Amino acid sequence: MKRYGVLFFSLVLLFAFPVSSPSFWPEQWSLRTPTLKGVVHGDGKWVAVGVSGGIYTSADRIHWEKKSSPTDQQLNRIIHTWNPDLFLAVGENGTILTSPDGISWTKQNSNTGSSLNGIAYNGNNRFVAVGSTGTIVTSTNGTAWSSVSSGIIDSLNDIAYAASKFVAVGSRTTVLNSPDGLIWGKKVPGCTQNNTQDFRAVAAGNGLFVAVGEGICYSPDGQSWSGEDQHPLRNLNDVTYESSRFIATGSSGEMLTSDATPYTWTTRTPNTKNDLYGITYDVTSKGLAAVGNGGLIVTSDNGNDWTRLNPDLLSIAFDRGRYVAVGTWGTIRTSADGVNWQNQTSNTAWSLRGITSGQNQFVVAGDGGSILTSPDGTTWTPQNSTSADFLFGITYGDNGKFVAVGLSDKVHISSNGSVWQDKPLGTTYWLNGITYGNGKYVSVGLGGAILTSADGDTWEPKSSSTTEWLLGVAYGNGLFVAVGTKGTILTSPDGHTWTPFPDPQKVFCWDILGITFKYGRFVAVNANGAVLTSLNGTSWSLKETWNMAGATKDPLRSVVGGLNSFMTVGEGGIILESENTGFPLFLPLILR
């Protein structure tokens, strides 16, 4: 009787609280990987700062550790000085942090509530930080700060010191000069098309100041300025000086180097379409590091060729209140709330490409025939898959079998995740995804390949009427939906007869890389950082996540329904979470 009372109460709550509109949800997506805004090198270490007061250090630019921060405010810039030996970071709401080693940090009183965007030091006895509404604060020691008048209300976005003067830049091509950081004069550079474009950063080197933002301007003294001959509209966020040239970074992965002369810029490829916000150069090691959206870190030893350090996340699962995401280099990350993520040890360097759950365990498949199992997502045990095949997908069926597929002439099945058997396919297939529904397994792959099986042992090929690569498949609402290259979408009520979505290239031209079904809808993700949703598999809407603050243009690889929301992962380790579903999460738990 008590059980029915709880059920009745749950049903009352279900109808008492509003449920999101099924035709438009999920609309909003938020980053769950922290964006980095600034980076510097000093005292033999690299230090990056970003949103929510995040501070991260590295000795080699490869392995990064999060440090304790005395603030949850966004940190926008960081510098290192030698006399005194000090790290200083500035950020939102007047935040100023100092550290003698980049590890232990102290919050200082800036005597301003304005957001601080840049900071510089004259090498002797004057620190200057600049920010919104023309804010300027100065200090002789980095701890005691006082305000000085800038004479303007425009936002100041960055500041540099060289040739015995401070130069601050800001919105509407604002340029201020000061010999001492106390008395400031405004300059009208006249180096952009209409003097309304914003400067976001400034750097000095080789007798030259370079300001970047929506344009690029140059000055030998901070007073007389000239600009690019063609006045192209830029979207640059930071600039640094590298031994003999300047390097600028910006939105959508834009990277420029000032080759030959400071007035000639060459586009470089940092291997990302995500925004880059900060860049720095270490004179000793000749190394460069740039940071950006979603914790993005790219490095270079010559300024021309760049390497993205973040491992890609290729697949994600949710079970028993825990998310588990897997990816390249044996990466495994877990979260109990979708917000805070922890790295786990996989004891493998193979790329892990698929994950599923069943029988109260997670099971992962990957390159080299890798199979790993875990009861909780934290402790992992390697299993013998009896194969060295590249495994791209794995699922668990209601018949009690795990099935893994990949580049092979066989599939791999297990009744417990530990002991695996091979089942022949008769010929070699490149299978990228697999799901279970309506009493059968359905696997999809290269050249429009579709295979079905009632038991996981015996498989039959089906006609898909497409030669596109099929990259993922899901089941829900009595329908199988397969997705693939060039926006391909196929639907089937039984796994045997498939219907293509009409003219997919005209609507969704990007490759669709992953799909799932939960909360009464299909959700798919594509190679341009967009999310597609459908209630019936035939009518789709597309949400471009880069139009939201801190979202991505890099490929999203996998998506799963989780804690009253959807979670998607992708290249560069990006993690995005949708808005709340509005469905009470406890109801299915009580009915279970």
pLDDT range class, residue 519, cuts 50, 70, 90: very high
**What average pLDDT does this structure show over 183-202?**
85
Encode pLDDT of 209-255 as tens digits.
999 999 899 999 999 998 875 556 789 999 999 989 999 999 989 99
> Which residue, of 293, 308, 323, is where some domain finishes?
308
Indicate the number of domains in the chain.
2
Which pLDDT value is given to residue 559?
A: 98
Mean pLDDT of 177-200: 87
Within this chain, do residues 21 and 69 fall inside the same structural domain, yes or no? Answer: no
Tell me, yes or no, whether 390 and 514 share the same domain: yes
The verdict on residue 489 lying in a domain is yes
Tens digit of pLDDT for each residue in 357-370? 999 999 999 999 99
pLDDT at residue 262 tops 70 = no
- Residue 59 CA neighbour count, 13 Å, CB half: 0
Distance of CA 490 to the CA centre of its chain: 29
Q: CA-CA distance, 246 to 398, in Å (whole number)?
A: 59
Same domain, 534 and 582: yes
Residue 486 in any domain: the answer is: yes
Do 251 and 302 share a domain, yes or no?
Answer: yes
Q: What pTM, to 2 d.p., does this model score?
A: 0.84
Min mean pLDDT across 111-120, 472-481, 537-546 is at: 537-546
pLDDT at 51: 94
Rounded-to-integer distance, Cα 5 and Cα 22, Å: 29
pLDDT band with cut points at 50, 70 and 90 for residue 11: very low
527 occurs within a structural domain: yes
Both 210 and 187 in a single domain?
yes
Contact predicate 424/410, CB 8 Å: yes
CA 523 – CA 533 distance, rounded (Å): 5
Residue 476's pLDDT band, with cuts at 50, 70 and 90, is very high
Q: Fill in the DSSP letter of residue 272.
A: -
Percent pLDDT > 70 in the chain is 90
For the record, the structure tokens of 551 come out as 């979202």
Q: 588: Cβ–Cβ under 8 A, 6 or more apart, which residues? A: none
Last residue of a domain, one of 251, 283, 308: 308
CA distance 131 to 96: 12
The fraction of the chain above a pLDDT of 90, given in percent, is 78
Query: 95-130 pLDDT, tens per residue?
Result: 999 999 999 999 999 999 999 999 999 999 999 999
User: 252: phi > 0 → left, psi -120 to 50 → alpha, else beta; which?
Assistant: left
Same domain membership, residue 125 and residue 24: no
Residue type, 60: D
Q: Report the C-alpha gap between 248 and 258 in whole angstroms.
A: 8
Given a contact cutoff of 8 angstroms between Cβ atoms, the answer to whether 316 and 559 are in contact is yes
Is 70 exceeded by the pLDDT of residue 257? yes
Residues, the chain, total? 592
Residues 378 and 287 in one domain: no
CA distance 416 to 404: 13
- pLDDT digit string (tens) for 373-430? 999 999 999 999 888 999 999 999 999 999 999 999 999 999 999 999 999 999 999 9
Give the count of alpha carbons within 13 A of 51, CB side only: 15
Classify residue 123: in a domain, yes or no. yes
Is 12's pLDDT higher than 50? no
| Weakest-pLDDT range from 211-225, 323-337, 496-510 | 496-510
252 and 176 within one domain: yes
In a 13 Å sphere around the CA of 512, the CA atoms on its Cβ side amount to 31
Average pLDDT over residues 548-575: 87
Q: What is the pLDDT of residues 415-468, one digit of tens each?
A: 999 999 999 999 999 999 999 999 999 999 999 999 999 999 999 999 999 999
* Angle, CA of 40, 42 and 48, to the nearest 5°: 30
Q: Is residue 238 part of a domain?
A: yes
Residue with tokens 């460069």: 288
Q: Is the pLDDT assigned to residue 351 strictly greater than 80?
A: yes
Residue 316 within a domain: no
Any residues with CB less than 8 A from the CB of 38 and at least 6 apart, and which? 48, 49, 50, 75, 76, 77, 78, 89, 238, 277, 278, 291
Residue 186 near residue 195 (C-beta atoms within 8 A): no
**Whether residue 435 sits in one domain with residue 398:** yes
Tokens representing 91? 């950020």
Would you say residue 548 has pLDDT above 70? no
Outline where 256-299 has alpha helix (H).
none
CATH code of the domain in which 468 resides: 2.120.10.80
Residues 209 and 102 in one domain: yes
Secondary structure class of 242 (helix, strand, coil): strand
Q: For residues 437 and 538, state if they share a domain.
A: yes
Q: 69: domain range?
A: 32-308
Q: What is the pLDDT of residue 195?
A: 67
Task: Read off the CATH number of the domain in which 262 is found.
Answer: 2.130.10.10
Residue 348 lies in a domain: no
The predicted structure's pLDDT at residue 583: 53
Residue 273's pLDDT band (boundaries 50, 70, 90)?
Answer: confident
Same domain, 239 and 374: no
502's CB contacts (< 8 A; 6+ apart) are none
**Residue 7: is its pLDDT beyond 60?**
no
Q: Which of 271, 291, 308 is where one domain is finished? A: 308
**DSSP code at position 6:** H
Report if residue 406 sits inside a domain: yes
